[in-house]
Structure formats: C-alpha cells, structure tokens
Amino acid sequence: MCNALKLHTVEFFAMDMKYTNVCIEAFAYCLPEEIISTESLERRCAPLYERLNLPEGRLEALTGIKERRVWTLGKTPGQQSILTVQKLMQQTGFDSNKVGALIHGSVCRDYLEPATACSVHHALGFPPSGFVYDISNACLGIVSGMIQIADMIELGHIEAGIVVGTESSRSLMETTIQHLNTDLSLTRKSVKSAFASLTIGSGSAAVLLTHKNVSQTGNRLLGGAVYAETKFCGLCRSDTDQSGGDAMSPLMETDSETLMKEGVSAAVRCFERFLLATGWNRSDIDKTFCHQVGRAHQKLLFESLNLSMDLNYSTLEYLGNTGSAALPTAAAMGFESGFVPDGSRVALLGIGSGINVVMLGLERQKKVCTERHGL
C-alpha cells in the first residue's frame, strides 16, 4: 500500500503543475554577428567527405539548417549573459530591486565554480538577498530554471526572478571538424554520431517571471507537465565535464535517429499530461515554440502531437540548435515579430537529451504594450 501511494503521489504532481500567481513578463535574446554556413562547414570537412565519398550538401539536406552563429573569440558565456539580461531589463523597465532570483541555465558556463550566475548577478547590481545559482539540464536548462522561479513566486518567496543562459558552439564545432578530418578509423556508419555536433549554434536568452501583482503585462503562466525517460540518457553525451570557454575541447556523440524517435515518444506522453494540467484541448493551442533541433525532428514531433506545424515559430534554419537558448530565443523572436496575437494560448514544448520533456502553457493577455514590455 505504501508503494502504491508513493507512485500515485509522483504521478499526481507530474500531471498537476499549476500556477495562479505567475506571469511571464518578457523574453529577450541576443545573437552573435558571425555567421557560419552549413556549406562552409562541409567544405572544411573535405578530407572526410573525399575519403568516405560523401555527397556535398548532405548535412543541410538532413537537418534543414542553412547556417548558425558563433560568438566573438574570447567572449565568455557570463559576459554575454550580462548583456542579455541588460537588454531584458531595458525592454521591460522592470525594477531591478524586485528581482529575487537569478539563475544561469545554459550548458556553457565560465568556470566549474563559482556559479556563472554570481558574476552576472554582481555586474547587474541585483539585490544581495536573492537566490543566485546555476542549473544544468542539457537543452532544457533555461526552461527548467523558469519552473524553479515560478515555484518560488507561487510560494511567496520572491516577487520576480530571471533565468538566463548563453550557449557557445565554436569550440565544439572546431574540435568536431578536427576529429572528423584526422580520425581515419571513422566509417560512413560511425561518423553519424558526430554530425549532430555540426548543427549546434550559439545564442543567448533570458526570461523575466513575476508575481501577477507586479506584472505589467498579465501574461499568465498557467502550468504544465514534465516527463523523463532516463533509460535513454546515453543517446547524447559529451565526453567530459568542462566549462564553456574557448579553451575547452569537447566532443559529443549523438545517436540522432534513436534520440529523435524516443524523444518524440516521450513528448507524446508528456503532452497528454500537459493538456490535463492546462485544461486545454489541442484546438485551444494558438501558437507553439519548441526546442529547435532539425527539420525531420520538427516534422515528426508535430505529426505525433497531432498539431499543425503552422502554429510553430521556427528558427533552426538560420540559428541551428542553440541548446538551452533555443526555445526562449524562438519565443522572444516570435513575440517580437508579432507572430503571437493578443489573447493567444501558447505552448512551450521543450525536449532535451536525458531524455527530459518540459511543456508549459502561457496565456497572452489582450491589450498589452508589446513595444515597451517585449511580449
């Protein structure tokens, strides 16, 4: 009986993540200026392509990614995160003295310790009485941080909080190209696990969440659901635990086909719980923002969820997979462009290696000042 009760309790909370006091005030994003085309990456992999007789254009044809961006050499994740939060604060005009939590949620960070959030917090001059720390959850780090801040607000611990993250792909890209061109043991089959690393791009995103009493937009975070299939934790992994500066030399192995299949399968299970938590039907969803991986993944995801891809704002074609920054960057760009009309119900659909799934529901209020507040 005790075991049954325990399982029931876990299932209940996974399905019933609801908020009554939390608003998503704004998303903000920053992009690097340097653009790297997929075509140029393939040219740099010429030794591999020639040795294995691989057709040019293969990477873009498989992923739908035409280009991605990289930060200026030497820029740390923390330095860029400071700029992204500054942009967020400028576009909202929010009182920095009310920020009770700052979470840094990207895979990339400045050091193993201290938390990158500490240097960002110090540079921004936020109140010393707040929560300041890093979290890591692969491509769901920023979204996971949103849940933690929402929980703090709902519990009355803070009035507002910010989660920010900056992903830097340059070192992964350079190390992968060198590996592909110099490891003569690679075959047409074994090389597949490295190609996903060439889809990664750089980006930075931040999110401000507030209590409804101090919100100037009233855009409510209703709640959502989480789901994990951790038996597939080995499908995508980096070889070492390192900080995110230029000195790191990471390699990543990804079973892309299995990860796509099992990730979407987990998303289907999570989506049913998400609908229960929000009280929505599929037809209630007006717009979506999802993690940006590749064209095939996006197509399979929306077919499996029985949703139209027309609802979704896609950035993968020109940004690639920007890790934890991908979903909030898409949301920021979508709101900025007018993609989301007033009164829309928006689904945030996050899937990350692990496998972890996080889905959140947002109700955009009517008659909001998008010019000032960014939503």
> Per residue in 54-70, pLDDT tens?
988 988 998 999 999 99
Q: How confident is the model at residue 235 (pLDDT cuts 50, 70, 90)?
A: low
> How distant, in Å, are the alpha carbons of 101, 104, 192 from that of 357?
24, 19, 24
CB atoms near residue 317 (< 10 Å): 16
167 classed as catalytic: no
Residue 311 lies in a domain: yes
Q: Which comes out higher in pLDDT, residue 369 or 22?
A: 22
CA 329 to centroid of chain Cα atoms: 8
| Helix-helix angle 116-124:77-92, to 10 degrees | 40
Residue 155 amino acid letter: L
> Per residue in 261-295, pLDDT tens?
888 999 999 999 999 999 999 999 999 999 988 88
Mean pLDDT of the chain, nearest integer: 89
CB atoms near residue 118 (< 10 Å): 18
Residue 11 lies in a domain: no
Angle at 365 between CA 363 and CA 369, to 5 degrees: 130
Question: Which residues fall within 8 angstroms of residue 18, CB to CB, at 6 or more apart?
Answer: 222, 223, 277
Distance CA 28, CA 91 (A): 8
Backbone angles phi, psi at 46, to 5 degrees: -55, -45
Residue 335 lies in a domain: yes
Residue 182 lies in a domain: no
Lowest mean pLDDT among 53-62, 163-172, 322-331: 53-62
Backbone angles phi, psi at 339, to 5 degrees: -65, -25
CA 325 to centroid of chain Cα atoms: 4
Q: Exactly one of 139, 236, 270, 290 is catalytic; name it.
A: 139
Residue 177 lies in a domain: no
Percent of the chain with pLDDT over 90: 75
Angle at 166 between CA 33 and CA 336, to 5 degrees: 65
Residue 193 lies in a domain: no
Distance CA 25, CA 19 (A): 15
The CATH number given to whatever domain includes residue 243 is 3.40.47.10
**Buried (b) or exposed (e) across 119-136, using 16+ Cβ within 10 A?**
bbbeebebeeebbbbbbb
Q: Where on the phi/psi map is residue 367: left (φ > 0), alpha (ψ -120 to 50), or beta?
A: left
Q: How confident is the model at residue 239 (pLDDT cuts 50, 70, 90)?
A: low
Total domains in the fold of the chain: 1
CB atoms near residue 55 (< 10 Å): 8
Q: Exactly one of 34, 113, 257, 303 is catalytic; name it.
A: 113
Q: What is the DSSP letter of 82?
A: H
- Tokens for 50, please give them: 């020639």
Distance CA 159, CA 213 (A): 8
> How distant, in Å, are the alpha carbons of 85, 140, 159, 209, 288 from that of 213?
22, 28, 8, 12, 26
pLDDT in the model for residue 240: 52
Q: Taking Cα atoms as reference points, which of 291, 266, 261 lies closest to residue 201?
A: 291
Residue 280 lies in a domain: yes
Distance CA 167, CA 28 (A): 14
pLDDT in the model for residue 371: 40
Residue 300 amino acid letter: L
Range of the domain at 327: 18-32+74-168+201-366
> Per residue in 351-371, pLDDT tens?
988 899 999 999 998 544 434
Average pLDDT over residues 109-131: 96
pLDDT in the model for residue 278: 95
Q: How confident is the model at residue 144 (pLDDT cuts 50, 70, 90)?
A: very high
Residue 322 lies in a domain: yes
pTM for the model stands at 0.90
139 classed as catalytic: yes
